[in-house]
Amino acid sequence: MWGSLLGLSSALALVTISPAIAAPSDTNFNTKCTTLGKLAKVDNGVVNLIEAIGAGTNLSLPSQDPSCSPSSIVVPVDLCRISLNVTTSKRSGFRMEAWLPSNWTGRLLTTGNGGMGGCIGYGDMSYGTSLGFAAVGSNNGHDGDTGASFYNNPDTLADFVYRARHLSTVAGKLITTFFYGRKYTKSYYLGCSTGGRQGFKAAQDYPEDFDGIVAGAPALAFNNLTSWSGHFYNLTAPPGSPTFLPPELWVTVHLDVLDQCDALDGYVDGIIEDPRICNYDPSGLICANGATTNCLTPAQAGTVRGALSPLRTDNGDLVYPRLQPGAEVIAAFVLFNGQTFSYTADWFRFAIYNDPTWDPKTIDSDDYEAAARKNPFNAETWKGDLSAVKNRGAKIIHWHGGEDFIITSENSPRYYEHVKSTMGLSNAQLDTFYRYFLVSGTGHCGGGNGAHAIGQGLGEVNSNSPKENVLMALVDWVEKGRAPETLLGTKWVNDQKEQGVDFQRAHCKYPKRNQYVQGNPKLPSSWKCVAV
Ligand SMILES: *[C@@H]1O[C@H](CO)[C@@H](O)[C@H](O)[C@H]1NC(C)=O
Ligand SMILES: *[C@@H]1O[C@H](CO)[C@@H](O)[C@H](O)[C@H]1NC(C)=O
Ligand SMILES: *[C@@H]1O[C@H](CO)[C@@H](O)[C@H](O)[C@H]1NC(C)=O
Ligand SMILES: *[C@@H]1O[C@H](CO)[C@@H](O)[C@H](O)[C@H]1NC(C)=O
Ligand SMILES: *[C@@H]1O[C@H](CO)[C@@H](O)[C@H](O)[C@H]1NC(C)=O
């Protein structure tokens, strides 16, 4: 079914060059780029578009579904853009792009997707090319951030779970080698959320695809995650219900969480360095003596306890760990908003039950178990044996924001420990190929109160130095054997890079956590990684 992807024989290819795009100044490069379209023959694939794009072009992306962002992107360097449609079965296929910079470092970068996407990772592709990578991305088998196209179509579901990411990497390797006339030196992966899960899926099932993987906030234990995301509705009930907390009351809860846990790391700055050691108890907030404001009814306190507790089946089996304390303020608008969770609705309707009438309000223990049992195409992504990655010398940097309000960071050490026990390795042995970092004060894949810019993508880059850039740290590890001990994160003044650095923190390698020692707390040197 899947033959050799790219031959050199001539084939009919649809080539369009948009006049709105500034061409690179190197005319040889432009010619080479457009010739690629005439020479590239992609089995099971058809070329949509080929264009040479000059650095600084603001590229509009009309082929993106409206549910995807961005709808335009600035192309950072001169590059050749090729877009292809690739068929994966009689009823499925994906759209992919390769961005081939004129000033190529020899490295290849595959980018991941997010949510139920459906959206090419143009941001990460742009970021990758700015660092000299040839970058590849796909729509993961369907357009738009919805699971509706899985309905009656397990092939589209297979593309989402593993196939589009794998085959677009294979295609990207061939296209890159053909275009530059030499093989790439190393193949890398960058992704967060669903993209983090895709990175681990590659590590588990396609270890040959990458020499290095950055997996952020991975959506591991994916079926169980969708159960967990969907269970908050029952806990809060809709706005106005006795169990519901309006967002301002979650701010009160958050301040109480900080009262109990912010000082555990030795410094009170609004950031809980390691939520693992925070065992929050909301009972102090229960309204006393007829008070009605800034306090919780017993029913609301029950909601808070439930929201910050692990989810279990009726039999007591763990489905998913608790939301880590500290993320309440934004979680109020995402998980605790008294509405059903759209990804949960999509996953159960179109991937688990194939029944668009399933009502996400009714989710319960039987559904958690049904999803874990069905586990389509092993979307769970929970294999603990990464020996193929280890044996070929590939490296994995796994990171997770400590204020993640969509995927709890407490699932990440759970996976690390699962790998550790499955492989029977010590932390020091895991360190040779797999390292996990909790990035404190950081939301879902970026942003937050903490030193969240670790070079994980556009807008999160303080510099390209491996010391403070997770992607270049990975390159340094893979190519020079220098493994990162910490990930140095940056918080800019008002989150504006132009306004300069507010503070930096060196995020610790698991299982250690950060502890303030002495001196200016804005300097990483005033902190130390200690055992929990
Ligand atoms: C590629 O697929 C898109 C839909 O994703 C379609 O609009 C376009 O016409 C296809 N291109 C070719 C060359 O078949
Ligand atoms: C790029 O163009 C779009 C409109 O097509 C506009 O909304 C956006 O602001 C532009 N981006 C930049 C950086 O100029
Ligand atoms: C090409 O990249 C190298 C480093 O990767 C850099 O030193 C050089 O300035 C770049 N050249 C151009 C023309 O961008
Ligand atoms: C939560 O689940 C319980 C048990 O199934 C049910 O009685 C209750 O009505 C549900 N609450 C909401 C808001 O759906
Ligand atoms: C997922 O949940 C089921 C219960 O529904 C549980 O048996 C299983 O161990 C969970 N899997 C993971 C990876 O946590």
Tell me the per-residue pLDDT of 444-501, one tens digit each, with 9 for 90 and over: 999 999 999 999 999 999 999 999 999 999 999 999 999 999 999 999 999 999 999 9
Ligand that lies nearest to the alpha carbon of residue 86, given by its number in the listed order: 1
Nearest to 102 by CA among 58, 56, 134: 134
Q: Is 421 contained in some domain?
A: yes
Q: Can you state the angle between helices 194-205 and 164-180, rounded to 10 degrees?
A: 80
Q: What is the mean pLDDT of residues 60-89?
A: 95
Whether residues 56 and 193 fall in one domain: no
Q: Has residue 528 got a pLDDT over 90?
A: yes
Whether residue 236 contacts residue 419, with contact meaning beta carbons closer than 8 Å, is answered with: no
Ligand 1 within 6 A of CB of 49: no
Q: Has residue 225 got a pLDDT over 50?
A: yes
| Per-residue pLDDT at 251 | 98
- Please, what is the Cα angle at 251 between 247 and 256, to 5 degrees? 145
Tell me which of 39 and 50 has the higher pLDDT. Answer: 50
Tell me the helix, strand and coil percentages in the chain, rounded to 5. 35, 20, 45
Q: Is 65 contained in some domain?
A: yes
| Per-residue pLDDT at 6 | 37
- CB neighbourhood size of 182 (10 A): 11
CA atoms within 13 A on the CB side of 271: 27
Q: What are the Cα distances from residue 47, in Å, to 83, 138, 160?
A: 6, 14, 21
Domain that holds residue 93: 1-184
User: What percentage of the chain exceeds 70 in pLDDT?
Assistant: 95
Nearest to 455 by CA among 98, 112, 127: 127
Q: Is the peptide bond before 93 cis (omega within 30 degrees of 0)?
A: no
Q: Has residue 41 got a pLDDT over 90?
A: no
Q: What is the mean pLDDT of residues 89-117?
A: 97
Q: Which residues contact 28 (CB under 8 A, 6 or more apart)?
A: none
Q: Can you state the angle between helices 27-39 and 164-180, rounded to 10 degrees?
A: 130
Q: Is 60 contained in some domain?
A: yes
Pocket test for ligand 4, best of 227, 231, 233, 234 (most atoms within 8 A of CB): 234
| Per-residue pLDDT at 20 | 58
Whether residues 388 and 313 fall in one domain: no
Whether residues 206 and 254 fall in one domain: no
Whether residues 22 and 90 fall in one domain: yes
Distance CA(121)–CA(112), nearest Å, equals 6
Distance CA(225)–CA(234), nearest Å, equals 16
Q: What is the length of the chain?
A: 532
Q: Which residue do the tokens 């893979």 mark? A: 478
Whether residues 174 and 196 fall in one domain: no
- CB neighbourhood size of 208 (10 A): 14
First to last CA, the chain: 51
Structure tokens at 1: 């079914």
Mean pLDDT computed over every residue of the chain: 94
β-bridge pairing 186-192 and 212-216: parallel
- CB neighbourhood size of 447 (10 A): 17
Q: What is the mean pLDDT of residues 177-192?
A: 96
Whether residues 230 and 372 fall in one domain: yes
Whether residues 306 and 171 fall in one domain: no
Burial of 480 (0-12, 13-18, 19+ CB in 10 A): exposed
Segment 393-426, tens digit of pLDDT: 999 999 999 999 999 999 999 999 999 999 999 9
Segment 439-449, tens digit of pLDDT: 999 999 999 99
What is the DSSP secondary-structure string of 83-121?
EEEEEEETTEEEEEEEEEESS--SEEEEE---TT-----
Whether residues 4 and 20 fall in one domain: yes
Whether residue 407 contacts residue 219, with contact meaning beta carbons closer than 8 Å, is answered with: yes
Pocket test for ligand 2, best of 21, 57, 58 (most atoms within 8 A of CB): 58
Whether residue 53 contacts residue 61, with contact meaning beta carbons closer than 8 Å, is answered with: no
Whether residue 397 contacts residue 472, with contact meaning beta carbons closer than 8 Å, is answered with: no
Whether residues 194 and 178 fall in one domain: no
Q: Has residue 347 got a pLDDT over 90?
A: yes
Flag the least confident range among 32-36, 208-212, 249-253, 347-351: 32-36
| Residues with C-beta less than 6 Å from any ligand 5 atom | 221, 224, 313, 317, 319, 368-369, 372, 380, 382
Q: Is 258 contained in some domain?
A: yes
Whether residues 131 and 230 fall in one domain: no
| Per-residue pLDDT at 14 | 36
Q: Is 272 contained in some domain?
A: yes
Identify the three-state secondary structure at position 495: helix
Nearest to 106 by CA among 83, 131, 138, 123: 131
Nearest to 171 by CA among 40, 80, 31: 40
Q: Has residue 505 got a pLDDT over 50?
A: yes
Whether residues 113 and 194 fall in one domain: no
| Per-residue pLDDT at 36 | 77
| Per-residue pLDDT at 42 | 65
| Per-residue pLDDT at 22 | 79
Ligand 1 within 6 A of CB of 252: no
Structure tokens at 27: 């005319």
Domain total of the chain: 3
Q: What is the mean pLDDT of residues 195-202?
A: 98
| Per-residue pLDDT at 35 | 84
Structure tokens at 278: 């925070």
Q: Where are the beta strands (DSSP E) in 407-453?
A: 434-439
| Per-residue pLDDT at 24 | 85
pLDDT category of residue 40 using cuts at 50, 70 and 90: low
Pocket test for ligand 3, best of 103, 105, 479 (most atoms within 8 A of CB): 103
Q: What are the Cα distances from residue 142, in Å, to 87, 222, 475, 478?
A: 12, 19, 31, 33
177 has which bridge partners? none
Active site positions, annotated: 193, 404, 444
Whether residues 259 and 407 fall in one domain: no
Q: Is 496 contained in some domain?
A: no
Q: Is 497 contained in some domain?
A: no
Structure tokens at 110: 């595959």
In degrees to the nearest 10, what's the CA dihedral of 166, 168, 174, 180? -130
Distance from Cα 234 to the centre of ligand 4, integer Å: 6
pLDDT category of residue 16 using cuts at 50, 70 and 90: very low
Whether residue 438 contacts residue 400, with contact meaning beta carbons closer than 8 Å, is answered with: yes
Q: Is 503 contained in some domain?
A: no
Q: What is the mean pLDDT of residues 244-248?
A: 98
Whether residue 152 contacts residue 75, with contact meaning beta carbons closer than 8 Å, is answered with: no
Residue nearest to ligand 5 atom 6, measured at CA: 319
Residue nearest to ligand 3 atom 8, measured at CA: 103
Q: What is the mean pLDDT of residues 2-13?
A: 32
Segment 263-311, tens digit of pLDDT: 999 999 999 999 999 999 999 999 998 898 999 999 999 999 999 999 9
